Amino acid sequence: MGVFVKKLHELDPPVHPLELIWVRMVMTWIVCVVYMTMTGVPNPILGPEGIRTLLAFRGLAGFVGLFGTYYALQYLSLSDTTVLSFLTPMATAVTGAFLLKEDLTVKQVLASVFSFVGVVLIARPEFLFGRDALDVPANEDRAVVVTASQRLGAVGVALLGVVGLTSAYTTIRAIGKRAHPMHNLGAFSFFCILTAPIAMVVARTPVVVPDNFPCLLMILAVSTCGFAAQMTMTTGLQRETAGRGTMAIYVQVIFALVFERVFFHTTPPPPSILGTVIILSSAIYVAVSIEFNAWL
């Protein structure tokens, strides 16, 4: 999905993230409603009474999280954007402890602190690293240069996306089993369908109508890959423990690094690689600790 989002940004004119979100979520919402209707799940559109406010907030938070990821892909490498999203599980552990009274261990706190160091290495703010080390080509073939301000802004939006995803995951925990999983996904997609066009009008973002078959295929691929990723991740975590399931998700980093080299001919600079190692190590450390404690 990330590869296609970046490829669509390189077109002339580029396809805006808000348009991609709308197209993807229309497909997701239709599938959710059809599935719940055919299987007899009650209230397939609005969800169960009593938790509709939570479902609406889950939709809003999910939209912020998805936009943060899509926006960051315009200016950050595929691997950097992927790694920044790994802050979400640890942030969710913190919000779960404060809002839902869940356990928060010292290991999780330490991992969060180290992860912040990794974020700094990926963001590389100018006051720490200087200006010369920051303006790097986004694509060696096109020699597109991402400036320091663009990069820092993209990291900021990506972190806003982490806040959105953290809020969404915390809300899902608060909802618990009071709603069908498709209700969560349906509320998420429905809110994106309503919000994305409004945001495009406010931001005066032009709609790009595909005028060639490859562009249309890539837009459809974003929707298909995004839906498949959500469904398989949810299904996998329902069948496996959180520790092992989370570690399986971290394989994204390997794919991101490989795809980045194959499709964009770029290699992350040493600070980004070090930041990736720190965040990934912290995340795996927490996942292994959870799995070990569950085994005990």
Mean pLDDT of the chain: 82
CB 223 within 8 A of CB 196: no
Grade residue 143 by pLDDT with cuts at 50, 70 and 90.
very low
Domain coordinates in residue numbering, the chain = 2-295
Place of tokens 């005990």: 296
CB 122 within 8 A of CB 276: yes
CB 273 within 8 A of CB 113: no
Rounded CA Rg of the chain: 19
The phi, psi pair for 47, rounded to 5°, reads 90, 175
pLDDT in tens, 154-200: 989 999 999 998 898 888 878 888 888 888 889 999 999 999 999 99
Q: Which helix (H) or strand (E) segment is 128 a member of?
A: helix 126-129
Total count of residues recorded for the chain: 296
Q: Which pLDDT score, from 0 to 100, does residue 103 have?
A: 73
Q: Which pLDDT score, from 0 to 100, does residue 130 have?
A: 62
In Å, how far are 95, 173, 184 from 101, measured between CA atoms? 9, 11, 22
Cα–Cα distance between 214 and 217 in angstroms, integer? 5
In Å, how far are 45, 49, 71, 239, 244 from 233, measured between CA atoms? 23, 27, 22, 10, 12
Cα–Cα distance between 183 and 120 in angstroms, integer? 37
Whether residue 138 has pLDDT greater than 80: no
Q: Which pLDDT score, from 0 to 100, does residue 38 have?
A: 95
- In 3D space, the residue among 229, 248, 191 whose CA is nearest the CA of residue 1 turns out to be 229
Residues paired with 143 in a beta bridge: none
SS3 state at 57:
helix
Grade residue 106 by pLDDT with cuts at 50, 70 and 90.
confident
User: Of residues 284 and 244, which shows the higher confidence score?
Assistant: 284
Q: Which pLDDT score, from 0 to 100, does residue 239 have?
A: 65
Cα–Cα distance between 79 and 33 in angstroms, integer? 33
Q: Which pLDDT score, from 0 to 100, does residue 273 have?
A: 85
Place of tokens 């790994």: 86
Q: Which helix (H) or strand (E) segment is 288 a member of?
A: helix 270-295
Q: Which pLDDT score, from 0 to 100, does residue 34 have?
A: 94
User: Of residues 171 and 89, which shows the higher confidence score?
Assistant: 171
pLDDT in tens, 1-46: 989 998 888 888 888 899 999 999 999 999 999 999 999 999 999 8
Cα–Cα distance between 231 and 244 in angstroms, integer? 17
Which amino acid is it at 183? H
Which amino acid is it at 78? L
Six token digits for residue 34: 């059809």
The phi, psi pair for 139, rounded to 5°, reads -155, 120
Grade residue 141 by pLDDT with cuts at 50, 70 and 90.
very low
